[in-house]
Structure 1
Amino acid sequence: MVTRNGERSFHGDSHESGTFSVEENPASRTMTIEDEDHGDGGRRLDSDDKLPSVEMIFKGQVEPSWREQLTIRAFVVSFVLGVLFTFIVMKLNLTTGIIPSLNVSAGLLGFFFLKSWTKLMEKSGLLKQPFTRQENTVIQTCVVATSGIAFSGGFGSYLFGMSSTVAGQSSETNAAQNTKDPSLSWIIGFLFAVSFLGLFSVLPLRKIMIIDYKLTYPSGTATAHLINSFHTPQGAKLAKKQVRTLGKFFSFSFLWGFFQWFFTAGDGCGFVNFPTFGLKAFDNRFYFDFSATYVGVGMICPYLINISVLVGAILSWGLMWPLIKNRKGDWYSSELSESSLHGLQGYRVFISIAMILGDGLYNFIKVLGRTIQGFIKQYKKKEVIPVTERDSPQKVSNSYDDEVRTKLFLKDGIPMWVSFAGYVAIAAVSMGVIPKIFHQMKWYYVLVIYIVAPALAFCNAYGAGLTDWSLASTYGKLAIFAIGAWAGESHGGVLAGLAACGVMMNIVSTASDLMQDFKTGYMTRSSPRSMFFSQIIGTAMGCLISPCVFWLFYKAFKDLGSPESQYPAPYAAVYRSMSILGVEGFGALPDHCLTLCYVFFFGAIIINLIRDTIAKKWAKYIPLPMAMAIPFYLGSYFAIDMCVGSLILFIWGKLNKAKADAFGPAVASGLICGDGIWTLPSSILALAGVQPPICMKFLSRGTNSMVDKFLSS
C-alpha cells in the first residue's frame, strides 16, 4: 500500500492529516500505492503542547482496565468491519495497487456501531459497561491489523507473483520450479508463520520510542486526536453527521456498481470501457471509467499525488510507449505479444521498477540519515536508553496530559521475556514451516532473515516515528535480490526471492504498525496490553479473512492477473520481474531498456533531491517519482478518476471549506466502501454462473458499419 504522510500523505498512505503509502501498507495508517510509505513528516501533532488539556476533559471518567477494554462486542464489530475493509483493500490491490488509509473510516464506523449498540442496551436496561475511547481504540487497531494483512500478505504483489498466471507473462527459464499457484491451505499457513514475528521484534522498545524519545508518529497521533474528539459531546454530534454522510454515499456507490454490472456481459463491455476522449485515446488507456472507488481515493489523496499520477500517465502512455511501439521489429521482435516481458511490456514494467527503486533508495537513505541524526541528538542530550521498563522514567514533559498518559503507559507493562520468548518460538516454528511450503526457501535463508530483521524493524519503526514513512517494501525488495541471488537461477531463486520478500516485509511492516498503535493508545490512555492483544487478534483474523476473500476473487474471476482483465494485479508482475532481474541479471531486459532504466532511476533520485533542497513553496509543484511510476504499467484511467475526485473536493472547498474539511473524508470513504463491498455480491454472482443481461460496447463508425453488414447478411 505513495504516502508521504503529510506531504505525500494520503490519509493516509490519505487525507492530508494522514499518510500516503505507495503500496505498502494499506489499511495500516497510510495510504498506499504500492510500495514504500513515503512521508514528509505529515502533521506533527505530538503531544498537546499548544492545545488545551485533553485529559482534563475525561478526568471524571473511570478508566477501564486493560481486560475491560478487550470486549467481545468490540471484536464482533472489528470482525464485521475487518471483512468489509478486506474486500476494499483486496479490490484495490488487484486493480491499481493504490490503497488509501481506512483508519478514519474504521474509527468512525467503530464509534457509530458501538455507540448505537450501547444506546440500545442502555434503553433496555442491559448496559453493563459504557462505551469508552479506549474501546474505540481497540476497534480501530484490530480493524487496521485485520485489513492490513490483505496488503502485507502480498495478494496483489509478491504472493500472487508466484503463480503460473503471472509467470506465464514472461519467458523465464526454469519457470516450473519458480511457480506456486495459490491454495487456501498454504497461504493461511504462510501468513500465520510470518505475520506475528514483527509484533515481538520491537515490543521491548515501546517505552524508549514513545516515552524516552517521544517520537511523533504523525499518523498514530492524528488517529488518537480523532478518537478523542469522537468521545466529546461536540465530536459525537459531528461524528453522527459524518456517519450519515458516509452512509448516503456508501449506498449511492453500491447501487452505482450494481447498475453498471447489468451492462458488462462480455469482454470490453460496460461503462468501465467508455471512450471518454475518443477511441484512439482509449487504446492508449486515456479514459474515465466511472469508478466511484478512485473518485473517492482522489478526494483523499493530496492534489500533488493525483497530478503526479496523471503526469506519469501522459509521459508514459502519451509519449514513450507509442514511440517505443514504433520501434517494434528493431528494439524487440515483432513476433512477441504485447504482454511479453521481452517486448513492449518489458519496457513498461522495468522502467516502472527503476523509478520505484530510485525513489525507494533515496528515501531509504534519507530516513536512515534522519534516524542516525535522532540517535546523535539523543546521545548529545545524554539520554541513556533504559535496559528495562522497570527503570525510572525520565521526565519528558511537565504537562498534565503527559503525566497521566505516561503513568498508565508504564503501569500495564509487558515483560521483556514475553517478547524474546515469543520471537524465538515463532521464528523456530517458521523455520520449520516455510521450507515445507516453499522447498526453494531453505531453513538457513529464513534464519538469516530472522537474525537481521529485528535491527531493520527497529530502524523502520524509529524512522516511521520521525517521518511517518514505513519503508517495509524497500526492505522486502532487498530480500528479493539478496535471497534470490543466493539461491540462484537453477535452484528456484525467483520463487525464493518472492517468499523472502514476504517474510521480511511482514516483520518490518507490523513492527512500525505496532508502534503507531502504541502511540495512539498512549494518547487515548489505552493500555499497551490491550493494544498488543488487539493487534494480535486483528492479525489472526486477517490471516483467515484475507486468504478467503482472495480465494473468492481467484475463483470468481478466471482471468485474474491478466494485463487486460478487470483485476490485472499489476504489482504481481512487477515483483516477479524484480525477482527475475535479481536472479537472471540485466540479460532479462529488452534492447535499450537498461539505458532507459538508468535514466529513470537517477531521474527519480534527482527529482527527490530537488524537492528537498528548494523552497517548500516551489517543491509542492514538483511531481513525486513514486506516484509517477504507477501508471507506467497500468495507464491513466484511474489517474483521471482520481483527478475528478480532486476537482470535486477543490470546488467544494471553494464553496464551503469548513464542510469540505469536515465531510470530505466521509464522502470519500462512502464512495470507496460502497463500490468495494459490491465486489462481494458480484463475485458470488460470478461463482454462481449468473451473467449480466446486456453488453454495452463502443465501436468506431467503420467497425460498426462492418458489424451491421455482417448481421444483415
Structure 2
Amino acid sequence: MFAVREWFRFLKTREGPISRAQPEFTLTAVLLGLAIGCLICFTNLSLGLQSGWISMMSIQSALIGFLISRMLPTPLTPQEIIVVQTTAVATGTMPLAAGFVGILPALTLLNEDRDGSPPIRLTWLAAVGWSCSVAFFGVFLSPPIRKQVIIEEQLPFPSGTATAHLISVLHQLPPPDTTVRRRNGYRQIDQEEEDTRTEAATTDVVVEGDANDATERDVIEHEGWHDLIWSFAGSGALTLSAYFFPVLFTIPLFGSYLAKEWLWFFTPSLSYIGQGIIMGFPTTLSMNLGMFAGWAILSPFSKLSGWAPGPVGDMSSGARGWILWVSLGILCADSLVSLLPVAFEYIAEALQPWRQGYSVTSTNAFDSSKHPHETETEDRLVPTQWVVVGLLLSVVVGTVLVWIVFGDEGIKPWATLLGFILGGMLSIIGVRALGETDLNPVSGLGKISQLFFAWIQPGNIVANIIAGGVAEAGAQQAGDLMQDLKTGHLCRASPRAQFYGQLIGSSVSIIVTTTANTLYNRAYAIPGPSFPAPTAYVWLSLARLLRGGQLPENSASFMAAFSLLFALLSALKTYSAKRSSWVAAWIPSGVAFAIGFLNTPSFSIARLIGGVAEYVYRTRFAKSGGDIRLIVIASGFVLGEGVVSIVSLVLRTVGVGVVSCFGCGHGLCGGCPSTL
C-alpha cells in the first residue's frame, strides 16, 4: 500500500527539480504508451512467430508518441515522451521475454515417445500464470543494474543514446551529454582540454548542427504524419490483399520448381522491408549471406548427399532440420565468444581490490573523484526497499506460478528458483554486452542456461526448456529496459517515472500477449506454414541433444567447422569494435548469419531490400533529414502489417477464407486448402 500511495503522490505533485517544470508521469503519457505498445506487441508476436526476430521499437515509439502529441491541446514534454517510449517497449517486447515466440511453441512440439512428455499446450489462464511468473523479475532487476552500467560505468547503449538525441532534436533541446569514460581504470575523458584546442572549429560545427537539427525537426513535424499514414496504409493494404490472394506473399520468383521443392520464393512484405531498414544494411547483409550459405549450398548438398532424405522443409528428416544444427552451432559460438571479453573485464574489475590489497589510497581505481555521482535526487529514484521486496516477491511468486502451471513432473520448484538466480547473473553479462555493442545476446545466454540445467536436472526436456526460458526472460527484459533508462538518463527523465511505466506496460502486456497468442493458435497451426516459429525448433533441438539425442548424419562436422569460423570472426569483430575500427561493421554478425539459416529465403530477401534502402538514404540523404524520414516510413511499414494482421486473424477466426488460390500450385500459400 505504501508503494501505491507513493505512486499517486508522485503523479500528483511531480516532485523533483526538473519535474516541477516539466510533467513526466502523466495519465496521457501512460495511455499513449500502452496504445503504441499494444500495436507493437501484436506486431512482434506475428513477426516473431514468422522469423524469430522482434524489434524493441524504442525510437519508433518515441517518434509516434511525438507525432500524436502534436495533435493534443498540450503537447507532451520530452520527459513524458520518454515515459511513452518506456511503457510502449515494456508492453511490446513481452512476446519474446515470456517465450511466446520460442519456448511455448517448443513445448507443443514434444513427443512422448521421444521426449518423455506429451505436447504441452497452455490454456489462456495457464499462459497468464506463466507470463506473470517472468514479467516482473527484469523490471525490479533494472534499477540496481542501471546504477552500475549507466551511472558508474557510463556504457554508451547506442540505441538508447540515439533515441535521446532524437527526442532532443524534436523538442529543440541542447544535445545530451554523451561523454563516455574509458572503462579501463574509469579514466575520465578531459573535455576541457579538447574544448580549448577546438574552440573555433566547435563554433562552426554547432551552427551546422543546429541547422541539421532544425531540418530534421521540420521533416518530422510537417511531413512525419503524411509519411507515417501512407506507409501504414500501403503496408496494411498489401497485407489484407495477401490474405485474400495468398500468392501475393508466396511469389515463385525463381520458378515453381525451386519454390515447391527447395522453398525458394519471395514475400514482398513491406513489414519485412521496414524491419530491414530498422536493422540496417550490415545486419541484413549478414542475414542474407547466411541464407545463401544455408539454402543455396548446404541444403541441396545435404539433400543430394542423402544425409537429409526427407522433404526439404521437414524439420526432422529434411534439409531444413539438417542446417538447423549448423545454425545452432553458429549461434552458440558467436554469442559465447562475444561475451568473453565482457565477462573477463567484469571479473577483473571485481577482483581489483583483492589484487591491490584493499589499498584504496594507493590507487586511483576507486577514487571517489573518478566516479560520477548520481544526478537524480532520492525522490526521483526507485527506493532500494522497493527493489529488494520486488525482487523477492517476483522470484517467490514466479516460482510458485511455474510450479502451478507445469507441476512437479514439468519442473521442480528448486530448479525454477535456480533459473531466476542464473537469470540475474546472466542479465548483468547481457546488459553489459548490450551497452557496448547494442546487441543483447539472449540466444547465447539461453543456451548457457540449457547447458546448466541439462547438468543439474538431466533427462528432463520440459525442465530444460522452462528453466532456460526463465533465465533468458530476465536477461532479455533487463536489457530492453536498460536502453530506455539510458535515454531517460541523458534527457533527465525521472527513473521512478520510467519504473512505473515499465510495471504498467509489463502488467498490461500479460493480458494482451496471452490473448493475442490464444487467438493466433486458434486461427493457425503454430508452428505451421504461416507461422513456422523457427526458434522453437532451436530450443527443442538443443534440449533433445542434451538429453542424449543424436545429430543428423554428418551434421556434426559442419556444425564444428562453422562454429570455429564464427568464433574467430566474433573475436575479430569484438577486437575491431573495441578499437572503433570501421572493419567491425562489415564483419558478418554470427547471430544474423544464423537467422538466415533458420528462415526460408523469403524472409531474408525482403529484409535485404530494406537494408539497401537504409544504406542509400543514410549515405546520401542523412544531412537533409532523410535518415529520420526513413525511420518514420519504416515504422509505418512494420506497424501497418502488424495492425492488419489482427484483422486477418479475426477474419480467419469467423471463417472468412481466401478469395482465390490462383498461382498457389507450389502448395506454399498460407490459407489455401493445399497447405492446411
Q: Does the TM-score normalized on the shorter chain lie above 0.5?
A: yes
Q: How many Å apart are 1:407 and its aligned residue?
A: 3.9
Change (3 A) 1:611 1:507: closer
SS at match of 1:277: coil
Aligned amino acid, residue 70 of structure 1: F
Q: How many Å apart are 1:462 and its aligned residue?
A: 3.4
In structure 2, the residue matched to 1:191 is 131
CA distance in 1, matches of 2:573, 2:147: 34
Are 1:132 and 2:73 counterparts? Answer: no
Are 1:251 and 2:259 counterparts? Answer: no
CA distance in 2, matches of 1:381, 1:456: 30
Which sits farther off after the overlay, 521-530 or 465-474?
465-474
Maintained 8 Å contact 2:37/2:88 = yes
Are 1:156 and 2:101 counterparts? Answer: yes
CA distance in 2, matches of 1:651, 1:204: 41
Aligned amino acid, residue 589 of structure 1: L
Change (3 A) 1:244 1:581: same
Q: 1:88 aligns with which of 22, 27, 43?
A: 43
Maintained 8 Å contact 2:44/2:95 = yes
Q: How many Å apart are 1:277 and its aligned residue?
A: 2.0
Q: 1:506 aligns with which of 443, 464, 473?
A: 473
CA distance in 2, matches of 1:690, 1:520: 44
Change (3 A) 1:186 1:67: farther
Maintained 8 Å contact 1:157/1:572 = yes
Maintained 8 Å contact 2:426/2:471 = no
SS at match of 1:69: coil
Q: 1:215 aligns with which of 132, 155, 162?
A: 155
In structure 2, the residue matched to 1:182 is 122
CA distance in 1, matches of 2:463, 2:287: 32
Maintained 8 Å contact 1:74/1:114 = no
CA distance in 1, matches of 2:89, 2:537: 26
In structure 2, the residue matched to 1:705 is none
1:255-302 CA deviation, whole Å, 9 max, x = no partner? 1222222213xxxxx112211122233242333211111111222222
Which sits farther off after the overlay, 67-76 or 496-505?
67-76
Q: 1:596 aligns with which of 554, 558, 573?
A: 558
Change (3 A) 1:381 1:467: farther
In structure 2, the residue matched to 1:167 is 110
Q: 1:238 aligns with which of 184, 200, 219?
A: 219
Aligned amino acid, residue 548 of structure 1: T
In structure 1, the residue matched to 2:281 is 303
Maintained 8 Å contact 2:23/2:77 = no
Which sits farther off after the overlay, 623-632 or 63-72?
63-72
Structure 1 residues without counterparts, runs of 5 or longer:
1-60, 120-129, 265-269, 386-392, 398-402, 701-713
CA distance in 2, matches of 1:624, 1:209: 24
Q: How many Å apart are 1:237 and its aligned residue?
A: 3.5
Are 1:316 and 2:294 counterparts? Answer: yes
Maintained 8 Å contact 1:118/1:131 = no
**What is the 5 A alignment of 1:14-29?**
none
Change (3 A) 1:680 1:200: same
CA distance in 2, matches of 1:653, 1:503: 39
Q: How many Å apart are 1:210 and its aligned residue?
A: 2.8
Q: How many Å apart are 1:624 and its aligned residue?
A: 2.3
Q: How many Å apart are 1:650 and its aligned residue?
A: 4.4
Q: How many Å apart are 1:430 and its aligned residue?
A: 2.0
In structure 2, the residue matched to 1:685 is 651
Change (3 A) 1:519 1:375: farther
1:493-549 CA deviation, whole Å, 9 max, x = no partner? 111111112211122222233333322222221111111111111111111111111
Q: How many Å apart are 1:307 and its aligned residue?
A: 1.8
In structure 2, the residue matched to 1:294 is 272
In structure 2, the residue matched to 1:534 is 501
**What is the aligned-residue RMSD (CA, Å)?**
2.9
Maintained 8 Å contact 2:97/2:472 = yes
CA distance in 2, matches of 1:683, 1:652: 34
CA distance in 2, matches of 1:272, 1:90: 19
Q: When the two structures are superposed, what TM-score results if normalisation uses the length of structure 1?
A: 0.77
1:351-387 CA deviation, whole Å, 9 max, x = no partner? 11111111111112133234346667998964549xx
Maintained 8 Å contact 1:70/1:530 = yes
CA distance in 1, matches of 2:145, 2:327: 37
SS at match of 1:589: coil
CA distance in 2, matches of 1:223, 1:374: 30
Change (3 A) 1:172 1:543: same
Maintained 8 Å contact 1:316/1:632 = yes
Q: How many residues align?
A: 595
SS at match of 1:116: coil
Q: 2:392 aligns with which of 416, 424, 437?
A: 424
Which sits farther off after the overlay, 134-143 or 644-653?
644-653
CA distance in 1, matches of 2:405, 2:350: 40
Aligned amino acid, residue 137 of structure 1: I
In structure 1, the residue matched to 2:329 is 354
- Percent of aligned pairs with the same residue? 24
Are 1:274 and 2:214 counterparts? Answer: no
1:627-676 CA deviation, whole Å, 9 max, x = no partner? 22122232211221122223334455576443431311111111111122
Q: How many Å apart are 1:161 and its aligned residue?
A: 0.8
Q: 1:102 aligns with which of 26, 41, 57?
A: 57
Q: 2:637 aligns with which of 668, 671, 680?
A: 671
CA distance in 2, matches of 1:372, 1:664: 41
In structure 1, the residue matched to 2:491 is 524
In structure 1, the residue matched to 2:71 is 116
Maintained 8 Å contact 1:110/1:136 = yes
SS at match of 1:181: coil
Structure 2 residues without counterparts, runs of 5 or longer:
1-15, 174-213, 354-359, 667-676
Q: How many Å apart are 1:617 and its aligned residue?
A: 4.8
CA distance in 2, matches of 1:250, 1:481: 43
Maintained 8 Å contact 2:526/2:532 = yes
CA distance in 1, matches of 2:562, 2:377: 47
Aligned amino acid, residue 50 of structure 2: T
Q: 1:624 aligns with which of 552, 567, 589?
A: 589
CA distance in 1, matches of 2:620, 2:485: 39
**What is the 5 A alignment of 1:609-620?**
609-612=571-574, 616-620=581-585
CA distance in 1, matches of 2:83, 2:397: 28
